[in-house]
Structure 1
């Protein structure tokens, strides 16, 4: 399979995943509010809802072939941008049961392949 075909398949997968997450941010923002670092201006709810819209817009860029390269770059930036929320979750859950700690810590390295995939989409789509 060519690099371009892989990038296009990854773009569709990422676009669908971001669509689901974007909808979830809008329908059930409370679960995401806890991930928003307190240092950011505005309310956690504003960040949760706005990030849902950003995820939906990024998904659209990835799902439309003509905008896929831009979508790859935007999704890479998005994945880097939400990483502090994953770090916050890991920190906040440091005294939780081991099962929760594994989840929160497991999210951190999983962000790396998502970023790498997004960069490949930006380069090859």
Structure 2
């Protein structure tokens, strides 16, 4: 039986994983500055990892390993999401338009939403 919270991880990972592979340039700017020389590779690897985790969470036999991998992946990409918020905040300060401020606010709101995703992944690992 699939825990009710698993779609919180599976759906975003599946969608994001596809986007990472189809349009990696979308994610390259949010790679933290020290890692930017490897931005394209990191985006592609994280996309494959997201798809693998989403698929692994679907089957009870692979769910524990995929749960642990998903929690680790969510923690690993958190700095990139924080970098996105920093960059959007800087852009909002420069542009001072409602759209930029809204993008910044949404990016900030997204950061704590990873916590329930991490919890769901962790529960999948624990069985």
Q: TM-score if structure 2 supplies the norm length?
A: 0.83
Residue 114 of structure 1 corresponds to 117
Judge which range, 8-17 or 26-35, deviates more.
8-17
Inter-partner Cα distance in structure 2 for 1:69 and 1:8: 12
- Out of 4, 7, 14, the position equivalent to 1:9 is 4
Partner SS for 1:65: coil
Partner SS for 2:35: coil
Listed one character per residue, the Cα deviations across residues 19-72 of structure 1 (whole Å, up to 9, x for unaligned) are 221111100111111111121274211111111111111112111221101111
Shift of 1:16: 3.6
Shift of 1:14: 2.5
Residue 107 of structure 2 corresponds to 104
Q: TM-score if structure 1 supplies the norm length?
A: 0.85
Inter-partner Cα distance in structure 1 for 2:10 and 2:37: 28
Do 2:8 and 2:117's aligned partners in 1 also have CA atoms closer than 8 Å? no
Inter-partner Cα distance in structure 1 for 2:77 and 2:37: 16
| Residues 30 and 104 of structure 1: CA distance in aligned 2, closer, same or farther (over 3 Å) | same
Inter-partner Cα distance in structure 2 for 1:121 and 1:48: 25
Question: What runs of 5+ residues in structure 1 fail to find an aligned partner?
Answer: none
Q: CA RMSD in A?
A: 1.8
How many matched pairs? 119
Question: What runs of 5+ residues in structure 2 fail to find an aligned partner?
Answer: 93-99
